[in-house]
Structure 1
Amino acid sequence: MKRFFFLLVFILAFQSMSAQLFTKEKVANAVDNIDQKFLTWGYFLGFNQYDFNFDYYENLEDVLVDKTFGFHLGLIGDMRINEYMNLRLEPGVFFTTRNLNYDESYFQGTTFNDSDLLREVKSTYVHIPLLLKISTKRINNFKPFIVGGFSTALNLSSNEDNPNDNSSGEFRMTKNTYFYELGFGIDFYLPYFKFTPSIRGIFSLNDEIIQDVDPDSPWTSNISQMQTRGVFINFTFQ
């Protein structure tokens, strides 16, 4: 269902882009004055893929991350600074799952089973970025831009306060994470709204792993730092 929706939106966006690229004159739109407003509002939805970047104390086999596509949605508040710059607040809710696969070398000298080699990390983030959007001059009915900024996220599924750790099958992360973000996209001016597909990368600034109680834990003792990184594909309507 997600793939079908993504394909449908892509086809609509491609048709709109093709029509506007080869139109010599700007088509009259109900949103022609939207870029002149000091404050505008909208919403977004899209897909995400989260990953982890690990740093280790010892040179053992990497912890492998199986990434899946997640879903997200949220609201947009846009403040106009000038013709080419906008300040944006984009709070949203993001759902994702990552599977961590440990090599058997982490468990040398201990008794383990196959389930110990896998940790499923489900995350629900309340993600709040503050972004600076820098656009080119509008060309007919589209306008490319780059965007960047900083964000914070509350992980509602972190297990940070859970007294159980990996010895009980619970992988724990910090509740709060801080990111920097970079991306690009194109605004398309359609007859009744502005449609914006964009892609953005996010990179964590802090260590997110909660060490197990056992200092020799095979799941956490060799990890000196674990940081989230990810890719967002957004579809915005204003």
Structure 2
Amino acid sequence: MKKVFFVIAILFCVTSSSAQGGLFSKERLENLQNFDKRFLTYGYFLGFNSYDFKFDYKQHLGNDTDVLVQRSAGFNVGLVGDMKIIENIHLRLEPGLYFTQRDLEFRNTTGAQDSLREVKSTYIHVPLLVKFSTNKLNNFRPFVVGGVSASLNLSSNQDNPEDNEQGKFRMTKGTYYYELGFGIDFYLYYFKFTPSIRGVFALNDELVRDDDPNSPWTGNIDKMSSRAIFINFTFQ
């Protein structure tokens, strides 16, 4: 995750300095000349996600990682509302539906069958973001974005009376995050197209513990929080 944001920072700096230095200074026909003059704009996005878990343990039991997480690619779809504050700063609301799956292997349980849990999640994810853009040049405009978000996990099992003893892994319904990312607005002839990448980091503990305080699945976990990478393609 840290390597991704290191690459993001380098790309943003290189793109901005190249634009200001005149590498792309040759003028071209400007598309959507009045687009950024609007106070409100709308659109939609499609994309992919990769969710992970970060575990903090009460004590390490001989393994470097007590719980192994196998990630898989998920799918995102949602809407975009953009409000212009000043020329280079916009406020964005991007509610969406996110589908993902993580497979957990608990290394301190006895049976191989009991050590595996499939965690399928369907999130209603609502971020409120501040977008900081460079000046527009030759129909493209790099930006960085950051903000906070909340999600509702429709597959959390929070209210299920069964726990891991019956094969049910449970999470909290609500989660809060902070987000950081990077993207580029491309002004095409008919619409604006924006590929972007964001890192998403949960702030609260999402684990619903088993009834047994010494449970081999949840007894040694002090905190479990999601982190994810979103790659979205926005059309406005």
What SS does the aligned partner of 1:158 have? coil
Corresponding residue for residue 207 of structure 1:
205
Which of 217, 220, 228 is the aligned partner of 1:219? Answer: 217
Equivalent-residue separation in structure 1 for 2:144 and 2:30 (angstroms): 25
TM-score, normalised to structure 2's length?
Answer: 0.87
* Aligned length in residues: 211
Q: Which amino acid aligns with 2:162?
A: N
Which residue pairs with 1:57 in the alignment? 58
Instruction: State the partner residue of 1:236.
Output: 234
Match of 2:100 among 82, 88, 96: 96
Please name the residue that 1:32 is paired with: 33
Deviations 1:200-222 (CA, angstroms, capped at 9, x unpaired): 00000000000100111100000
CA distance in 2, matches of 1:177, 1:227: 9
Structure 1 pair 84–22 and aligned structure 2 pair: CA distance change class (3 A): closer
Q: Closer, same or farther in 2 for the Cα pair 1:220/1:204, shift >3 Å?
A: same
One-letter amino acid of the structure 2 residue matched with residue 216 of structure 1: N
SS of alignment partner, residue 209 of structure 1: coil
The amino acid across from 2:182 in the alignment is F
Which of residues 76, 79, 84 in structure 2 aligns to 1:80? Answer: 84
Could you tell me which residue of structure 1 aligns to residue 173 of structure 2? 175
Q: Per-residue deviation at 1:140?
A: 1.1
Task: Give 1:43's aligned residue.
Answer: 44
Distance 2:170 2:93 in 1: 29
Q: Give the superposition deviation at 1:79.
A: 0.1
Cα distance in structure 2, aligned partners of 1:64 and 1:35? 46
Show structure 1 runs of 5+ residues with no match: 1-20
2-side partners of 1:102 and 1:188: how far apart?
Answer: 45
Tell whether the 8 Å contact from 2:41 to 2:81 is kept in structure 1 after alignment.
yes
Following TM superposition, the consecutive aligned residue runs of length 4 or more in structure 1 with deviations greater than 6 angstroms are none
CA RMSD across the alignment: 1.2
Q: In structure 1, how many angstroms separate the alpha carbons of the residues matched to 2:42 and 2:140?
A: 19
Deviations 1:29-65 (A, max 9, x none): 2x22111100000000100000000000111221110
**1:71-130 CA-partner distances (Å, limit 9, x unpaired):** 010000000001100000000000000001111xx23xxxx4221111110000000000
Partner of 2:20: none
SS state at 1:178 partner: strand
- Which amino acid in 2 is paired with 1:118? L
The residue matched to 1:214 in structure 2 has which SS?
coil
Determine if contact 2:88/2:134 at 8 Å carries over to the other structure. yes
Alignment of 1:126-141 (within 5 A): 126-141=124-139
Residue 22 of structure 1 and its aligned partner are, at CA, apart by 5.9
Give the equivalent residue in structure 2 for 1:4. Answer: none
Deviation of 1:23 after TM superposition, in Å, equals: 7.9
- Kindly provide the amino acid, as one letter, of the partner of residue 116 in structure 2: L
Q: Secondary structure at the match of 1:114?
A: coil
Q: How far apart, in 2, do the equivalents of 1:32 and 1:186 lie?
A: 17
Residue in 1 that maps onto 2:70: 66
